[in-house]
Copies of this chain bind each other. A is one copy, B any other.
């Protein structure tokens, strides 16, 4: 074979691989749109068929991806990829595609569609069961979810912990054996902080619960994230029950929010949160479009961006020095008499509360750790679904010293278990918090002027740095690789604990 023929051969195979990946991506993107529609605009009557349609698209995408011809192409392209520099796009694409292929071929297509139709059905049931405070109606379905989750894990024999294969799907490389001690260390640092804050006089947040009309709240959130850099030519915001970010292409990255007209913080910070996810996806290199490289690299890194924009930026004093006068203009009657300092303290109130998504930065991780521990107990067989509501209450009582009056704000609170598997659903939030502080510290090291710029409503230095160092790469680097490239070291708790101690030490005047 001449060198020329060999090159042509590689080109043909590479083209064939791209064609297949694009087709699979088209099916997955269509499924994402069906899901977006289901949670935003779909009328109730559409639910039954929608579950079936989603299952079909996901099954077809899975079938196409697990086609042995894909494996053969990856094998044939392996020598080519191995001769490329590790950081070359094609090397990364072939490496990631092989990892995904090996994951996917372990799970039968029928099982994938069983999960899809089961979770779509359970999601529909949950949307009425939660307001009705009816755990009994979801219980048998959740038992099925747990069974499916166990079966899923068992397609990956040789795991250290039964949750590891589930965690690996969203946070590649992370294991129970590393997360559990990390979370224990974090809990140990948070508990005295929460206790010390609890001994201070409480913050008055009543002014946040005046009447704030929906349209004005939405306008306030949209104006803020436009400043961050969210591109409405390549996205939009709609209302839903449980806010999320979703993507149908790099040119169409959407966010959703919900509005409580008696809680100014709800929509505003959810909008900033989802915009962080969206900035990540909108910032991915266009040449990755339609391939597995064109998405955020892990749940944890994704969450680091949503939490960075929502909390490190969006709940900072510097940001509100810039934005509070604008917010006062939108809500003059409600905020005219409220000074900036009072507003800043109120949106950073630390409180032992029931709802994860409403929780402050300090207690938030306790909510996550509770759920992570419950997931492990369920998967380990140490906890039955029937006992989950009580276990939930017990954990809240132990960790936060409070108990929900009902299951609505207890075990029925989060969509995750009702729209997906049990295992791997929550750890990303806290991993994200930890990494957000690491990344932000690195950004500040490169550009110490960032905090000053933020007080003037300038976010482009930060946004550009994040895009160049993190966003553009999509899934080219693993979480661990990215951490090393960006921060020079591994996952580390210190910057996050320092951040919390400094910020809340000041707010609550702790010694």
Give A residues with C-beta under 8 Å from B: 22-23, 26-27, 29-31, 33-34, 37, 41-50, 52-53, 56-57, 60, 231-236, 238, 248-252, 254, 289-290
Given contacts A33-B33, A56-B26, A252-B42, contact A49 B290 (CB under 8 A): yes
**CA separation between A45 and B234, bound complex, in Å?**
5
Contact (Cβ within 8 A) A252 B50: yes
For residue A238, which residues in chain B have a CB less than 8 angstroms away from its CB? Answer: 41
**CA separation between A289 and B233, bound complex, in Å?**
37
Can you list 10 pairs linking A and B with CB atoms under 8 Å apart? A30-B56, A33-B34, A41-B238, A42-B252, A45-B233, A45-B234, A48-B251, A49-B250, A49-B252, A53-B248
For residue A57, which residues in chain B have a CB less than 8 angstroms away from its CB? Answer: 26-27, 30
Contact of A46 among B42, B43, B234 (CB under 8 A): B234
Cβ distance A4 to chain B, nearest Cβ, rounded Å: 28
**CA separation between A23 and B234, bound complex, in Å?**
31
Interface centre among A48, A233, A249, A254 (most CB of B within 10 A): A249
For residue A30, which residues in chain B have a CB less than 8 angstroms away from its CB? Answer: 30-31, 33-34, 53, 56-57
For residue A41, which residues in chain B have a CB less than 8 angstroms away from its CB? Answer: 236, 238
Contact of A49 among B29, B56, B235 (CB under 8 A): B29
Contact of A233 among B31, B44, B249, B251 (CB under 8 A): B44
Interface centre among A49, A57, A234 (most CB of B within 10 A): A49
Cβ distance A229 to chain B, nearest Cβ, rounded Å: 14
CB nearest neighbor in B for A282: B45
**CA separation between A238 and B238, bound complex, in Å?**
14
**CA separation between A43 and B250, bound complex, in Å?**
11
CB nearest neighbor in B for A36: B37
Contact (Cβ within 8 A) B232 A48: no
Contact (Cβ within 8 A) A49 B234: no
**CA separation between A251 and B45, bound complex, in Å?**
4
Interface centre among A50, A52, A53 (most CB of B within 10 A): A53
For residue A47, which residues in chain B have a CB less than 8 angstroms away from its CB? Answer: 251
Cβ distance A184 to chain B, nearest Cβ, rounded Å: 44
Q: Could you list 8 further interchain pairs (A-B, Cβ under 8 angstroms) beyond the known A27-B60, A45-B234, A49-B250?
A: A22-B52, A26-B53, A26-B57, A27-B57, A30-B34, A41-B238, A49-B290, A50-B248
For residue A60, which residues in chain B have a CB less than 8 angstroms away from its CB? Answer: 23, 27, 60
